[in-house]
Structure 1
Amino acid sequence: MSRKSKSVELLNEWIGEFLNTEYTYAHTSCDLTRQLSLITEIIGESLSILVTDDQDRLVYASDSYCSLFTYEKEFPSGAHIDDVIQFRFLNDHDMRALNQARQSSSHVSFDCVQSTAFGKQISYRTSFVPIKDHKQVHRASLYVIADQKPDKQGSVVQQEVVYDQMTGLKNRDQFELEVEQKCQNQHEDAQLALLFFDLDRFKYYNATLGQLTGDRLLKEVATRLTAIQDQRMEIYRFGGDQFAILIEGYPSMTYIHKVAKDVCHFFKQPFVLSNHELKVSASVGVSLLPDTAKTKGDLIHQAEMAMQVSKEKGPSTYHVYIEEMHCHYTKQLTLEKRLNKAIEEKSFQLHYQPQYDFYSQQVVGFEALIRWFDEDLGYVPPDQFITVAEETGLIIPIGRQVLDQACQKGKDWYDNGLNIRVGVNVSPVQFQHPDFIQSVKWTLVKTGLPAERLDIEITENVLLYNKEACMNTLEQLKAIGVHISIDDFGTGFSSLSYLRTFPVDMLKIDQSFVRELKRNHNDQAIVTSIIQLAHNMGMKVIAEGVETSDSLNFLMDQHCDQMQGYLYSRPIPPEQLPLFLTENRVMHRSSET
């Protein structure tokens, strides 16, 4: 037995005896540091060791370890072992063996490559030794660097980086290399499947709870992924919060569906990190070679398209690529191209839907609604192009053009002596843009519209995110005199405390609650509650989507302030507005039953 092997046994025996006594973490850290320093002096300075507690936090690093890797000082107590040893350099076999040894508290040795503080890579043999107390409870771990491994020429082995340092999964470079190799080596009867997915809400948690929590979340995801790994699959961290699973020679599509379902299923259990319960879901896309893909590029691109379809359908879902998806995204690209042209040529038009006040029996405002007729695509409904505009950032210039047109029309009404407000829907992307307030101010100055004649409409979900920034934006709007409405109220997740805090003038009841007021008692209760809530908080209420006399009668009975909908008028093209404004239509309660 070598001198170093005996040293490992001695340390194992000594630490085991040490843990038989009562101790605290602070005492353990202090005593291990002192006692191990004495032992390494006795058995040799060449022994490079690390000791962690049962939470994998670093308790001790020997001087020889720090010297070997050219660190000036010992690692701080409490650092996680994954941040010390670069497990990304382990091969598949050793990585699985180490993970299994950690879980079962068994001994394992493996070859590892680690970078020094100056970037030099050293190949060495290391051992993982679980340290158990007298009750056989895993209380500490010992990592011993036993031998440095030179290559045939006697120089230090230089290895290509294969593994992601944070998660221990194979990295993107290795993914692309192996996909290319597998695609080139495919036999006629061989099959290759790619599962591609990212984490929904990861960016939100990373921004609100900090990058360290985000990093730990990625590690936990990697751990759950390796639990479903078998000999047919390779798992990769593609980058950021994106992961890939490559499956070769799968027996049937049933197997692929099972793997995709397993990935979706294990995200249904929340991740508990730093006393936070994080609910994360995955949107999974699947592509197949040679069924639909013929090349590496096809395989990756099709999996990404299928993943986007999953995102649109809802969280924790998966879709296998089909040809129709390509047609859909080709249409999306065409739509994006035509949107850019429409912005350049200012092709968008606004129609205006009247807002009628029950008490004054007059039109008190118009909501500006965007319309787009493209020379190639024809009429494109807003629900088809607004989402694309938000995803691409084109909503910002589109929003500016809408605001400019609406304020100019409002100025025309003001100059004609009409006491009418113009309402403009603002996208969450637009509302959170850094120059939104400046854009509103400049438009009001340029058009000459008094600020109190402009009604900015935002959806209630905007209030939930970046609350401080949202409050700041709303307060600046109120400071210049702009009217503020919450659009589609009742469909989101607003907290009453937020509603009480934010400077809001009006709630707009979503049309989904108004359409079936006569038949749906739940809708009646919701509408009644919203009206009472708003009035108690000093706000006015406008009901959207009023299409029947029954709805009108109910709203009047509940003392709703205003309404808009087809019962009064459809959205009106700008050239027809003068005629409409001369009609002076009055809404009366219907006697129909």
Structure 2
Amino acid sequence: MFEGPSDYSPALQQLHDRYRRIAQRIGLAGLVLVGLALGLTGLFGRISFNSYVEAGNYALILAGLALAARRDFHIRSVMNGGLAALFLCYWAHVFVEVQSGDINVTTLIYPLFIPVFIAIGLDYRLQLALAPLQAVFIWFCTVAFTEAYPLGGPGLSDERMLAGSLAAFSAILLVLLAMVQISRQRTDQRLVQVITEKEHLATTDPLTGLLNRRAFLAALKTAADETGEVTAVFIDLNNFKPLNDQYGHAAGDAVLRAIAARLERSDAIAVAARPGGDEFAAIAAPCRNAAEMDAALAGLYAELVCDVAWNGRLIHVGASMGYAHKGRDDKSLTACLSEADTAMRRVKAAGGGYARFAPEVDGEAIETELMQVTFPRALASGLIRPALQPIADAGTMEIVGHELLARWTGLAQADINSRQPGPEEFIPVAEKLGLLNELLWTTLDTTLSNWKSEPKALSVNISPGQLQTTDFIPTLRRVLDKHRFPANGVTLEITERVALRNLEANVGMLQRARKAGLSIALDDFGTGYSSLSMLTRLPLDKLKIDRSLTLAAATAEDAPENALLRGALRLARDLGLVTCVEGISSETLAEKMRKLGADQMQGYWIGQPRLVESPDEKPARLAC
């Protein structure tokens, strides 16, 4: 067993803490017993100066033991030394009483058990060493007692027999305690060995001997806590799978072990790990400045990509290495790791090499990664909220419906540069994470629960993944039926990008949606390259003309977009489609679209998106 707390691994710390608590309890309990004994002595009127001296000696030893346990100071040494001193101190006071003639029945009975009780906590070697002393001391007390109180038997032989028997009995007790202690200490040693082996297996990669992912993260946190600064390094071997396929897994294992050995012997690396597969991670050794760090890691990279000798041949090794630095209080460890990984993937995409994380180059990628972590939490906690933007009749300017939008509100997105991500940022993330349906059902349920306006007309944007989900239409109908919202008041908006993905399957899904009473609108018309053919192939009810075409047509009367806009409106009218022009930002533009024959209009001049509020909330208008 170890002495200081710094010698302990986390798995052994529990055993150490248990022993420390035992030592502290022995010290405190002993102090209480000494106080009680002194009080009882005074109560019976037998207190003397020697009583105070004896109690003071005991209290001093026990207080030292309790204090050492509390401060975690060489507990085993203090425990053994303190209890041994307590053992000898007790016998010293017994001898003083005997020499002073203060002999009674307690002079014989107490020494039989109190020293043995003290010796229970000692190491077995001390117990065996004290056993002969205990026998001698008991012999002495017994002889003194029988001299003061003769047994009245036939002679001295009986008194010696009693003294010898009690001395042997007391010594045997200590020997038995030592045997029990030997057994217990061997059990503890086996337990320590098992825990140590388990700790090694739990924290070490068995192939390379490096730390595994869990141990690396713990080491990274420790390094950051100690110095406040740390540089994380991620390394990924290039074309490792083809190497395994060409030479076999034995060659692949040899390469992994060679890379691990290079990392361990490199002066640029303080801690190395293999999280798994062909990936390595490391904590760079501290450097005085960024230039020195770059130079050190450049040297490391040059060493890593040297060929590996295996079975008489040289195997080329390619690697991609990225690293990021965490200064004092400038970012979290999670962010630092993510930055290093992003830099590594950037150089891997470029064919290999090494690079430091650069915010101007990697910033967008890191924000997307962070958003993939924060978006599910924001959705679950209600920070992704529905908003409604009105749609007006072009002729009467009356509100004829609303488009359902999603907005990220609140402060949980603080990890993303303390700003509110727009839908153009988090909608692709939701689609990548497979959370678009959950986003739709959450916002739709909230909207319909608080629906107040008439008429009941709502447009909903959908994606390819949602269209191809077989239970999408039945689930949508259940949500509508739950709130008694008419299906013919709901319009599903799809873009050309959505429709073009698996066109035939999407056409079939949209036809089923129309049979269920829903309307279909083609959104963002004018931004794609096959919209005209789409108008005849898709089962459409409405055509929404993109704001880019509207704004371009508003800049000049002779702009080519004017002809496109007029043609689109005329074509939609001939096909029997309702038209809605987006991007209406002024009364002049609205009047122009009305003259061109638009049926509906949508834009900030018509109305900005407003968050859907519960009855006890104040209305809120969004800035975007």
Range into which the TM-score falls when normalised by the shorter chain = 0.3 to 0.5
Structure with greater proportional strand content: 1
TM-score by length of 2: 0.43
TM-score by structure 1 length?
A: 0.46
Rg larger for: 2
